[in-house]
């Protein structure tokens, strides 16, 4: 199996702009050519597009608009983890020897159809993800005594981190008090407990070991990956753990031959505040039930270890771009190019990206 590295990456500024999906995809693609040493259109063997937009043939369109004639070209969709599904697919094309260089570009508009979970009658009228997040929160409060204050710290931490991220859609600090007094949306969650769907695009270029050094002096290797889809149905979920994340992370740790203790920096899928607490525990970074206190400590010590770019809550959540933007951040950290967001001596990074109440998860381990 050929080794695969991230050799180029970029993220556009996330916003609420009313811009076409094609323009978003092209913006990130043009930018990655500008930013990646020696990369030309002729190098690209595969173009994979990640989005939930109801448009067709987008990988061919973005290739056409940017002068690429790839061998492999298609769109990939798996709701909010479309981005990491695309990266794992590109990894497999390279690893199998079908491609040497793959461009993965993800984009979404603020009004994406991927925001609504409209197939599962077990959710009743509750098609918006906030309702499952609210049920997770209720269960967690019951089981572990999680407080509204602990949840608010998750939001405060991510918003604080986002102020160091020039591409965040609304980089602004909020106090715990402000968060706890923001507009109530459900029994358990308030406006500032939620990530915000937005417009944005991100891209990475992956390359095989044999060509990686042409494009960068500092390739970031994908050392481990895991994926799991447990269900498409909310009713099967255990409300106090994210089974798919647990299984995917075990696969990824095993492949990378590391343990959670080795992770220096992580981007995790904080679609809602409660998710961050659950993910930290199901990744094995924190003991089950203890993530609330851990996040307060992160905040108070100004740690950048978790979601240095501000996560989904701080940076925004353009669905098809999200998983890719997480990988962009981890690659930037492992290169040592994260500026004021830099986690010192970051050698091993983790990405956790999930869909639809964590019924599906991807975990990636990257190393410099």
Closest CA to 333 of 354, 307, 357: 307
State the minimum distance, in angstroms, from the CB of residue 131 to a second copy.
16
Q: Which of 26, 27, 47, 312 binds a second copy (CB under 8 A)?
A: 47
State the minimum distance, in angstroms, from the CB of residue 60 to a second copy.
4
Determine if 114 is a binding residue for a second copy (CB under 8 A).
yes
Determine if 79 is a binding residue for a second copy (CB under 8 A).
yes
Q: Which of 56, 187, 217, 302 binds a second copy (CB under 8 A)?
A: 56
Determine if 110 is a binding residue for a second copy (CB under 8 A).
no
State the minimum distance, in angstroms, from the CB of residue 327 to a second copy.
16
Name which of 31 and 208 has its Cβ closer to a second copy: 208
Determine if 182 is a binding residue for a second copy (CB under 8 A).
no
Determine if 355 is a binding residue for a second copy (CB under 8 A).
yes
Site string for a second copy, 3-42 (x = CB under 8 A): -------------------x--------------------
- Report how far residue 223's alpha carbon sits from residue 103's, in angstroms, rounded to the nearest whole number: 19
Contacts of 225 (CB under 8 A, 6+ apart): 88, 91, 251, 252, 255, 362, 363, 364, 365
Sign of the torsion formed by the C-alpha atoms of 130, 318, 276 and 226: positive
Structure tokens at 6: 């991230």
- Which regions of 177-322 does DSSP assign to beta strands (E)? 200-208, 220-229, 265-267
- Cα 69 to chain centroid distance, Å, stands at 28
- Report how far residue 67's alpha carbon sits from residue 59's, in angstroms, rounded to the nearest whole number: 12
- Report how far residue 47's alpha carbon sits from residue 25's, in angstroms, rounded to the nearest whole number: 11
Residues that bind a second copy (CB under 8 A): 1, 22, 47, 52, 54-57, 59-61, 63-64, 69-79, 82, 85, 88-89, 91-93, 95-98, 113-114, 117-119, 225-233, 248, 251, 355-356, 359-360
């Amino acid at each position: 199996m050929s080794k695969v590295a991230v050799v180029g990456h970029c993220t556009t500024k996330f916003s609420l702009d009313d811009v076409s999906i094609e323009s978003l995809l092209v913006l990130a693609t043009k930018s990655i050519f500008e930013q990646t040493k020696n990369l030309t259109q002729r190098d690209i063997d595969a173009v994979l597009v990640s989005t939930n937009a109801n448009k067709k043939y987008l990988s061919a369109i973005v290739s056409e608009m940017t002068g690429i004639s790839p061998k492999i070209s298609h769109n990939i969709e798996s709701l909010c983890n479309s981005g990491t599904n695309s990266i794992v697919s590109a990894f497999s094309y390279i690893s199998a020897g079908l491609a040497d260089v793959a461009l993965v570009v993800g984009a979404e508009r603020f009004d994406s159809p991927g925001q609504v979970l409209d197939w599962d009658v077990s959710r009743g009228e509750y098609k918006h993800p906030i309702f499952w997040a609210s049920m997770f929160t209720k269960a967690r409060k019951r089981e572990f005594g999680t407080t509204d204050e602990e949840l608010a710290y998750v939001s405060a931490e991510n918003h604080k981190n986002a102020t160091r991220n020039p591409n965040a859609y609304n980089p602004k600090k909020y106090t715990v008090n402000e968060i706890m007094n923001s507009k109530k949306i459900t029994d358990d969650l308030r406006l500032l407990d939620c990530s915000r769907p937005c417009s944005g695009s991100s891209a990475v270029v992956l390359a095989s070991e044999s060509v990686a050094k042409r494009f960068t002096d500092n390739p970031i290797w994908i050392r481990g990956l895991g994926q799991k889809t447990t269900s498409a149905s909310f009713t099967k979920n255990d409300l106090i753990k994210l089974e798919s994340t647990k299984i995917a992370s075990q696969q990824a740790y095993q492949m990378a031959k590391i343990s959670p203790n080795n992770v220096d920096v992580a981007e995790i899928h904080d679609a809602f505040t409660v998710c961050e607490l659950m993910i930290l525990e199901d990744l094995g970074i924190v003991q089950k039930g203890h993530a609330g206190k851990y996040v307060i400590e992160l905040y108070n010590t100004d740690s950048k270890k978790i979601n240095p770019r501000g996560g989904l809550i701080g940076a925004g959540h353009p669905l098809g771009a999200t998983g890719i933007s997480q990988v962009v951040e981890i690659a930037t950290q492992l290169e040592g190019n994260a500026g004021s967001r830099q986690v010192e001596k970051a050698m091993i990074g983790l990405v956790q990206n999930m869909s639809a109440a964590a019924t599906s998860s991807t975990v990636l381990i990257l190393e410099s």
